A and B are shown apart, each in its own frame.
Chain A
Amino acid sequence: MNEQVNAPKKFIVPIGPQHPALKEPGHFEFTVDGEIVTGASVRLGYVHRGIEKGCEQRSWIQDIYLLERICGICSHSHATAFVLGVEKLAKVTVPPRAQAIRTLFLELERIHSHFLWLGVAAHEGGFDTLFMYSWRDRETVMDILENLSGNRVNYSANVLGGVKYDVDEKQADEIRKGIDFLEERAHYYLNVVTTDETFLGRTRHIGLMSLEQAVTLDAIGPTARASGLARDVRVDAPYAAYVDFPVKLVTDDRCDLVGRFVVRINELFESYRLIREILDHLPAGDLTTKCPRRIPEGETISRVEAPRGELFYFLKSNGSDKPERVKVRTPSLCNWASVINLAVGHNLADIPMILAGIDPCFSCNDRSVTIRNPGGSQVWSWEELRRYGIEHYK
């Protein structure tokens, strides 16, 4: 009995997993000592759809569409990683124009993803004006994508051996116009996130991850680059048209949430530059080349820098028209480890921002939060935790 009384009180705050509106739910349990987080764990899989298994039962062509639906935000990255791998196995050389258009889509997708993230992260911190502004601006790039492919999210631009959509001069001009507007907006946002005192109050020195930690925790993508870790597949192992249109690596050494904002916004400028360059020097030629239905036996690895970091595909073919194995490792999976570790030592109030900071295919809004304690339980929604965070910093 005594032991129970004297035992340090351990509160576990479970967050998640239910959410009716956003995709990809996850469940976190944060152990807290008063306000301070002392431990964290993660449980995923609420939207485990068995896509890897599903791929083994469908043809190589059907799999493009299946894999594109892993994620609604980086759909084109998934399809590109897959088709690049299959083309390697089939030893098919894709026309340069197709590679350039793939890259164009990849960069447009990065812009839409980063603007989306900027809005979500701002919302978590209680900066709803910034959220509304950035999502309004994001519509510009969504319109461009819709104009190019007819779709806002799952563009289905890739086919085995090339792309479906061409870009004509008129469309190119519209893209340029949109990009000019977005560039101006990105300058504005960069200014806001680095100078606004209230914003910095929620981000400066929060979620610190040193370079050494980033290395140990295997962080990737903008999360790693915000800690000065120079890791970007586009630079390290250029694929598609990144050989002809090289990317300048964007890093930041702030190591905190501010750094994660700055890195992503600076990446936008790099994407704008790339898109203009691709449009100005779009190689002439075919959009597709013939690719066999049966893919020769073999194994291959294909890596793509998705907006959130390195996307890893392992493909194995047994020589038939269906893959033997498709392994997908998404960037968010790598970065969960950093959240789990970074959360420790922070205020519970900082959790929404730290979670948002890695840009997990974000799904944590408005979840049910239960504070368990020996005297019964108190139920919070994610919204309440978010408000609690905002109040805490008022």
Chain B
Amino acid sequence: MDINESFAKAEQILAPWTGVATHPAPDRMDVVIPAKSLVEAVTALVEAKWGYLSAITGLDHPGSTEPASEALRWQRLTEEIEAPSDEESREGTLEALYHFCEGAAILTLRVRVRYTSSALPTICNIQPAATLYEREIMELFGVTIVGTPNSERLLLSDDWPEGVYPLRKSFTSLKELDVVKGKETK
């Protein structure tokens, strides 16, 4: 199938949830969707047999004084929540990118959650192959995937401390973590 045809079809499928759809490259389409619509959107894609889930990428956007991104603003808007306060944008967010591929076309569903409410629904009921990807993002980024069939450790060692997520930008090394902890206890 032609790339443009694929994207036209995807746009149609995702129309109910699409607010911002961009084409960062000719072979890519990024769609920002609110977390609560994730399952519905994925279900629609799978039922329409649009491509396959290729990967789930996690991104950490540590809190900073910089203004909240467009995507985040939009998501807040659709969730009928007020625009992020300064405190919230300082807190930082995690982003999960669900990449679907059909032929040469790559469709990415982008979902954002806050550090303190980092829950995302599982998509394993619709797309069973997602289980390993979900376990990966849970471990490495600390996104909570609600309802995922297996939430055991997949990659990190058994003695890895709880609540330490190595792919977050704030993580530098376990050694430094110990130093910080040691200081805290003193």
Contacts and interface: CB of A to CB of B under 8 A. Distances in A.
Do A and B interact with each other, yes or no?
yes
Contacts of B148: none
Nearest to A298: B24
A301 B132 contact: no
Interface string A76-90: 000000000000100
23 contacts: A44-B154, A45-B153, A45-B154, A45-B156, A53-B166, A215-B52, A216-B128, A217-B128, A231-B52, A236-B104, A237-B103, A237-B104, A301-B99, A301-B108, A310-B54, A310-B101, A312-B54, A325-B57, A327-B55, A336-B132, A337-B128, A337-B131, A337-B132
B150 to A, nearest CB: 7
Q: Is the interface of B mostly helix, strand, loop or mixed?
A: mixed
Contacts of A42: 132
Given A52-B167, A236-B103, A312-B54, 19 more contacts: A44-B155, A45-B154, A45-B157, A53-B166, A53-B171, A216-B129, A217-B129, A218-B129, A236-B101, A299-B24, A301-B106, A303-B54, A312-B99, A314-B55, A314-B57, A314-B97, A325-B57, A327-B58, A336-B132
Nearest to A301: B106
Contacts of B25: 88, 300-301
Contact of B156 (A48, A52, A216): A48
A10 to B, nearest CB: 17
Contacts of A8: none
Contacts of A314: 55, 57, 97, 99
A112 to B, nearest CB: 26
A333 interface: yes
A218 B127 contact: yes
Chain A CB within 10 Å, residue with most, of B25, B57, B103, B128:
B57
Interface in A322-336: 325, 327, 329, 333-334, 336
Contact of A327 (B57, B101, B129): B57
Contacts of B152: 43
Contacts of B108: 301
B53 interface: yes
A238 to B, nearest CB: 8
B71 interface: no
B28 A301 contact: yes
A275 to B, nearest CB: 24
A50 interface: yes
B9 to A, nearest CB: 16
A336 B131 CA distance: 11
B16 to A, nearest CB: 25
A329 B28 CA distance: 18
A316 interface: yes
A151 interface: no
Interface of B: 24-25, 27-28, 52-55, 57-59, 97, 99, 101, 103-104, 106, 108, 127-129, 131-133, 140, 150, 152-157, 166-167, 171
Contacts of A147: none
Interface string A117-128: 000000000000
Contact of A218 (B28, B52, B154): B52
A314 B101 CA distance: 13
Interface string A92-105: 00000000000000
Contacts of B166: 50, 53
Nearest to B129: A218
A249 to B, nearest CB: 12
Given A218-B53, A316-B59, A327-B57, A237 B129 contact: no
A294 B52 CA distance: 34
A215 B156 CA distance: 29
Chain B CB within 10 Å, residue with most, of A314, A316, A336:
A314
A310 B127 CA distance: 18
A14 to B, nearest CB: 14
B123 to A, nearest CB: 12
Contacts of A310: 54, 101
B55 A329 contact: yes
A198 interface: no
A41 interface: yes
A316 B127 CA distance: 26
The 10 closest A-B pairs by CB, nearest first: A45-B155, A218-B129, A237-B104, A329-B55, A327-B57, A48-B155, A314-B57, A236-B103, A337-B129, A312-B55
A333 B133 CA distance: 8
A82 B140 CA distance: 21
A327 B166 CA distance: 13
Interface string A42-58: 11110010101100000
B153 to A, nearest CB: 7
Contacts of B103: 236-237
A179 B138 CA distance: 46
A41 B99 CA distance: 24
A314 B25 CA distance: 13
